[in-house]
Structure 1
């Protein structure tokens, strides 16, 4: 059977209904804005389409039977030699720079491929200027930041708006476990110190073997399908308002870029299971109860596994300092800011010397006048 492929449309083909000029999506609205006449062109979404954006897909059925015939999107992808990010290019774009590390990119280096079409997406809500203000405010609060970094922030005129791919997973789980429960108790013991007999209270633990079962239902466990951004900071951009997902539509991409997934569906589920197991481990400890817990084994069944492929909006800026790339991210929905940051060792050294000087001065004053 022939694959159902949706070719990504050229953004120039999205034309204003009033003047025919190019349209770009206006963050915080449900409309495309004309760059020439300023007219807003509403993106129509009916309730059936909106419901489809939230519809879960059976994971095992999809992997075993639907993977080859599922709707696909044909994209032109350029892999950055600098950081490995895989960014999608519009067909009319010849060259650009990588938004993840600022390395140059050209369409000659790209390749066409078809990927699983996203089910839904969250459009940008935070405007470019808002994101830039939040980014600068975050930088101002950083201690020991290099002056060049703050200067760079002042000179930066805009951030790059990118839709990042994610997988979400649901699952019903039940886990059989074995372990030990530790109950603390106190005893009084005698001891000798400097020839004198004394007593003290010590805490001891009585361990009991246990086994049991815990249940947990998971909903929308988020797994970034991008490997271009530091996972620690990407996860700290959460939470996302996934209840406001809209159907995937290239109109929302107009004026923005998107990254194709580098972590496939099955690898995504492996990562999701690990996240679920971390939560289940806490459930097991609570079920064991007592003062202390030791887990010997956990055997988890993952049932009714479903997934969605979605795109989430992030404002990004990349900055090079001492031959290393630092990336800053702003959640395009909530304005949460996270990122890597360099330190000025000159500032840190001066600060340490100042503290030492203050301590030395106080010590001198106490020794000189304290008596």
Structure 2
């Protein structure tokens, strides 16, 4: 079943407005607080159905989508529609962080980011080749993880001192044991197979204090996807994301020793709680030099990630400048020490 929102004043389509955080009509300017929308239109639930074709209630056209799509636009009338039957039961997100950056703001922020590229080609820096700017709610799992670490190590402290004409080195060895209990909350892992995991990881962090109870009007006017992987399937990735922090914390507990030799290190990480959430992402397709470059922007913070093209001439000038500067510094040092400048 398709759900889309009509303006009570003029009958035009209403979409979620990132600036005001409300459901907005662009025709007459009406704004509706999402909390005041009738409950059956905010959190409608239906039986799960994997059908790929829906009928647009606005114009009657067939809306054909991929099975993962939960919100889209009608290709004929442009109405923003939400496929609520794909957001029910175990497919219903628990929370959502709404967009706070509008499309216009996202375009301006991306152009500003492009101009900061010191090693990018001049043509790229003008940022006038944006092919598409698409707002997508990407499915994530947020994990609350508990890690218990039991560590046994031999540590050494070295002291050097002198007596008379002799210098002594004293080494003392200690057996050390650590019993560590760590908690990590809201560890994010994207659950869409279409999204590049590296890009999604680099968009972090999100302001999780902005998480809101999921309501379908937040999706109106944007694209959205349901998860392709369960929380159990993605748990190994969540554990991998915190491993570096666990190792760093363990190492910090042995500060003050000159050397540490681990005899036993056992780490057990458990999933205490996981929640299915939707997070806002602007996907940018940029056409440059007959190639498409994909970038992503955090829909809350404006952080942009991606790999822009590099200018070989600028790189050559940059390294040439470093080499020339280094050579000049060495010549100056030689001259200061009594040698010839040349």
CA–CA separation in structure 2 for the residues paired with 1:277 and 1:213:
16
Distance across 1 between alignment mates of 2:241 and 2:99? 27
TM-score, length basis structure 1: 0.68
The equivalent residue for 1:181 is 155
* CA positional deviation for 1:313: 0.6
SS at match of 2:316: helix
Q: 195, 202, 207: which one pairs with 1:241? A: 207
**Structure 2 unaligned residues grouped into runs of 5+:** 53-64, 79-85
Q: Would the alpha carbon gap of residues 294 and 91 (structure 1) be closer, same or farther in structure 2, given more than 3 Å must change?
A: same
Q: Of the candidates 98, 106, 121, which is equivalent to residue 131 of structure 1?
A: 106
In structure 1, stretches of 5+ residues that fail to align are: 1-6, 53-69, 80-85, 97-111, 189-197
1:40 maps to 31
- Work out the number of aligned pairs and report it: 307
Q: Equivalents in 1 of 2:177, 2:341: separation in Å?
A: 65
How far apart are the structure 2 equivalents of 1:272 and 1:257?
A: 25
C-alpha displacement at 1:304, in angstroms? 6.6
**How far, CA to CA, are the matches of 1:229 and 1:292 in structure 2?**
43
**Structure 1 residues 306 and 75, CA, compared in 2 at 3 Å: closer, same or farther?**
farther
Q: Answer yes or no: is the 8 Å Cα contact 2:144–2:186 preserved in 1.
A: yes
* Alpha-carbon distance in 2 for matches of 1:354, 1:147: 19
Q: Structure 1 residue 268: deviation in Å?
A: 1.9
Superposed, 1:87-236 pairs within 5 Å as 90=72, 92-93=74-75, 116-151=91-126, 153-156=127-130, 159-186=133-160, 208-236=174-202
Q: Cα distance, 1:34 vs. partner?
A: 1.1
Q: Distance in 1 between matches of 2:327 and 2:260?
A: 48
CA distance in 1, matches of 2:264, 2:51: 45
TM-score (norm 2): 0.73
- Residues 304-348 of structure 1 show CA distances to partners (whole Å, capped at 9, x for unaligned) of 711110011111212355676532222111222222222111332
Distance in 1, matches of 2:70 and 2:267, equals 38
Contact 1:170 1:219 in 2 (8 A): yes
The alpha-carbon distance between structure 1 residues 113 and 20, as it changes in their structure 2 partners (threshold 3 A), is closer
Question: Given the superposition, is the C-alpha separation of residues 315 and 179 from structure 1 closer, same or farther in structure 2, using an over 3 Å criterion?
Answer: same
Shift of 1:23: 0.9
CA 1:233–1:90: 2 relative to 1, 3 Å = closer
Aligned mates of 1:171, 1:163 — CA distance in 2: 24
What is the Cα deviation at residue 121 of structure 1?
Answer: 0.3
Q: Mark the CA change 1:223 to 1:345 in structure 2 (over 3 Å): closer, same or farther.
A: same
C-alpha RMSD of the superposition? 4.1
1:280 has 2:255 as partner:
no
